[in-house]
Amino acid sequence: MTATARLIRHDDVGVIELDNPPVNALALGLRVGLEASLEAALGDPSIVAIVLAGGGRMFCGGADLREFNTPAAAQPPFTGELRARMDRSPKPIVAAIHGSALGGGLEMALACHYRVAAPGTQLGLPEVRRGLLPGGGGTQRLPRLVGVPTALRMIVSGDTVDAAGAKAIGLVDEVAAGDVRTAAIAFARAAAARGGHHPVAATREARIDDADAFFAAERARVKAESRGLEAPLECLACVEAATRLPFDEGLAFERSRFRVLVEGTQSKALRHLFFAERAAARIPGIADDQVTRPVRTVGVIGAGTMGGGIAMSLANAGLEVLQLETTQAALDRGRATMTRNWAGTVAKGKLTQDEMDRRLARVRGTLRYEDLADADLVIEAVFEDMAVKREVFGRLDAVCRPGAILASNTSRLDIDEIARSTSRPQDVVGLHYFSPANVMRLLEVVRGAATAPDVIATAMAFGRTTAKLPVLVGNCDGFVGNRMLSAYVREAGFLLEEGASPAQIDGALQRFGLAMGPFRMGDLAGLDIGWAGRKRQAATRPKHLRYSRVADRICELGRFGQKTGAGWYRYEDGSRSPIPDPEVERIIAECAAEAGIARRSIADQEIVERTMYALANEGAKILAEGVALRASDIDLVYVNGYGFPAYRGGPMHFADTIGLKEVAERVVQFHAAHGDWWTPAPLLLERAAAGRGFNDKE
Ligand code: NAD
């Protein structure tokens, strides 16, 4: 192990430079180097002051997440000892901060006597986003430095502040005009010359008037906002401890709460998702430096629900958008919806009117295909009908320039068949957005059989530059997300017949952490689309597979969900609150009787197992077929596109957490009880037998 921090002398000032690229993570080597440099600087009488600075592109990005739960994490020197040593230093220590100081990085800076930051530097304690709390004294030092309410907000939200904001709240002492290291050296020298006592956060007090009332109100707010997450409440408890306990006891309290979180399932799930996002960007067979095609002007075909949302998301990212429709009326309707949506954001104070006007001006409407001749990328979002898609792609093929990328936002249709309606299948790709497309982060990039590697690389890069999370998936009915959703919704429908109610199933899954249960989601999205699909498939449906008639009966009554005032629930005029409906209960009971099913009482646990293991079993088939490149990609799809709770890590990670042996046993039981929908995925059985998880490394 090499030491990755070193002492550089600048006359009478010792600069300790962190040198562990890319983010100067506080791994063992860096801790060893920092300790040695600190001792050398403190012990050298010719050094009057110390500057702590980062080499490369930032000060310090924090702890090394990869080191967590490994032996290296348990090897001294620990950062706590280093910070305590800095607290006791008679020589002034100044942090010279550029780029960012995040998490453990900011905690090191908090243990310095002074902080000088370059303009634009980002400072924050984002641990809560990984299900953790700042376990390096951050919850104890920050309230002492910037006050309790400000510290609490930063720690519980994980939000960063920039250098100017940090100066305003007292987090940094100076924003450097020129080079930050030079400024910090001058600052340190002046502080040493001034002499006297240098301020130490640890020796200050964190005070708040009427602490009981303040923390009671904050706890209620954080609890309501954190929706099942443990970490925000633990962060709050630690900040409260800073106001009630002496510094050292506060540190010990923080340490003990950190340990609980770092060993818990929530932070493991959130850290899994953090690494999953990095992994998703890598595509086997496509080099990181694959040349991509430039994307400046984008055409969008259709100005309906999805076309409108996609156009907004592109304009939000600064792209010029040309939107094509069949009639001026459809264009006008689409524009009115976009205007209303952006105006809502302006009304909330999250967007200025000027910026809204600029975004709106980036979207131009047209009725003529010829106007798309120069587009670099065209995204089709017309009706979900193969004949219409083929016609649109044929016309695009005729007008678009060679090399333009032609993409479809289809939810389920065959990308290869769409590609075949053009003379350039290598330029055709799926870009599957999720509704509302201007809000949801997920973008399934669907690779067709002929899609060229540079088209895939471009689509992935385009997704990232437009603030989406692109995940590459293969071509099959429903791709990854909707294919798994079918298994999940089907199972929820069977549970109804067996004895559960829509409200019980939605309630159980919402308590599990889903943003919305399947029946509320169905009512929101509209039940008619699924019904049309089932009618199309009726003739070819394998007769040996169980089929529930309940959803069809509901649709036969014209109940298509919220838009018709009734679906799985009923809705009062103008309200979106679902009200359980005895009529639906009657239909369920009738269908169950017709199917010869004796209804029974069903426990919430069975609801969770049946629906979640249906996802995992289908996910295992998707993985084995190569429709998803990795289990973690499936997890990303579910967390970012389907309201799956991030703190459970996604359906594949959740199955791993339960243990695949147990999951496989239940799947085999469900197969025996409910038939061949539950045919166990061979990959699930293999991994279970081998004692491995879906997400385990090879
Ligand atoms: P929508 O009915 O709201 O909008 C479709 C729009 O396409 C309409 O405005 C229509 O006028 C226009 N259109 C139809 N034929 C056209 C043509 N030949 N040329 C130009 N415009 C034409 O439908 P939507 O919900 O926006 O769905 C669009 C596509 O997105 C579908 O393929 C759908 O499966 C997919 N999708 C929908 C969702 C969703 O939640 N709604 C999510 C992901 C993907």
| Residue 209: per-residue pLDDT | 94
> Is the separation of the CB atoms in 643 and 485 below 8 Å?
no
Residues 400 and 426 in one domain: yes
The answer to whether the CB of 381 is under 6 A from ligand 1 is: yes
Task: Look at the pTM and tell me if it is higher than 0.85.
Answer: yes
Structural domain harbouring 560: 481-690
372: its two tokens: 């798309």
Find the CATH number of the domain harbouring 608: 1.10.1040.50
* 291 located within any domain: no
Residues 193 and 258 in one domain: yes
Residues 37 and 94 in one domain: yes
Ligand 1, atom 25, lies closest to the CA of 305
Q: Which residues pair with 576 in a beta bridge?
A: none
* 290 located within any domain: no
| Residue 1: per-residue pLDDT | 79
Distance between Cα 63 and ligand 1 center (Å): 46
> Is the separation of the CB atoms in 53 and 184 below 8 Å?
yes
Q: Crossing angle, helix 481-498 and helix 631-641, to 10 degrees?
A: 70
The answer to whether the CB of 478 is under 6 A from ligand 1 is: no
Residues with catalytic annotation?
A: 107, 127
The answer to whether the CB of 301 is under 6 A from ligand 1 is: yes
The per-residue pLDDT for range 430-445, each reduced to its tens digit, is 999 999 999 999 999 9
What values do phi and psi take at 432, rounded to 5? -95, 105
Residues 659 and 537 in one domain: yes
Residues 363 and 347 in one domain: yes
Residues 396 and 302 in one domain: yes
The per-residue pLDDT for range 602-617, each reduced to its tens digit, is 999 999 999 999 999 9
What string of DSSP letters covers 556-597?
A: HTT--BGGGTBSSSB--TT----B--HHHHHHHHHHHHHTTP
Find the CATH number of the domain harbouring 335: 3.40.50.720
Residues 467 and 488 in one domain: no
The Cα–Cα gap between 119 and 339 comes to: 35
* 37 located within any domain: yes
Find the CATH number of the domain harbouring 183: 3.90.226.10
484: its two tokens: 């798994």
The Cα–Cα gap between 350 and 235 comes to: 26
Please tell me the total count of domains within the chain.
3
Q: Which of 473, 504, 529 is where one domain is finished?
A: 473
Distance between Cα 409 and ligand 1 center (Å): 8
* 274 located within any domain: no
Q: Where are the beta strands (DSSP E) in 359-413?
A: 363-366, 377-380, 405-408
Residues 435 and 560 in one domain: no
Q: Which of 420, 440, 473 is where one domain is finished?
A: 473
The answer to whether the CB of 415 is under 6 A from ligand 1 is: no
Please say whether the dihedral angle defined by the alpha carbons of residues 642, 643, 649 and 652, taken in this order, is positive or negative: negative
**Residue tagged 């093929």 (tokens):** 397
Distance between Cα 385 and ligand 1 center (Å): 9
The answer to whether the CB of 337 is under 6 A from ligand 1 is: no
Residues 119 and 190 in one domain: yes
Q: Tell me which residues of the chain have a pLDDT lower than 70.
A: 698
The Cα–Cα gap between 463 and 570 comes to: 38
The answer to whether the CB of 440 is under 6 A from ligand 1 is: no
324: its two tokens: 């094509």
* 20 located within any domain: yes
For the CA of 392, the closest atom of ligand 1 is 18
* 623 located within any domain: yes
> Is the separation of the CB atoms in 120 and 165 below 8 Å?
no
Residues 463 and 496 in one domain: no
| Residue 533: per-residue pLDDT | 84
Q: Which of 473, 501, 531 is where one domain is finished?
A: 473
Query: Which among 305, 392, 445 is the best mutation to test ligand 1's pocket, defined by most ligand atoms within 8 Å of the CB?
Result: 305
* 109 located within any domain: yes
Residues 563 and 681 in one domain: yes
What does the H/E/C string look like for 195-237?
CCCCCCHHHCCCCCCCHHHHHHHHHHHHHHHHCCCCHHHHHHH
Residues 359 and 233 in one domain: no
For the CA of 334, the closest atom of ligand 1 is 9
* 347 located within any domain: yes
Ligand 1, atom 29, lies closest to the CA of 381
The Cα–Cα gap between 185 and 15 comes to: 8
Supply the mean pLDDT for the chain: 96
The Cα–Cα gap between 551 and 530 comes to: 9
Exposure letters 489-521 (e unless 16+ CB within 10 A, then b)? bbbbbbbbbbbbbbbbbbbbbbebbbebbbbbb
Ligand 1, atom 20, lies closest to the CA of 325
Query: Which among 312, 382, 524, 527 is the best mutation to test ligand 1's pocket, defined by most ligand atoms within 8 Å of the CB?
Result: 382
The answer to whether the CB of 378 is under 6 A from ligand 1 is: no
| Separation of CA 421 from chain center | 35
- Order of strands across the sheet with 160-162? 100-102, 122-124, 160-162
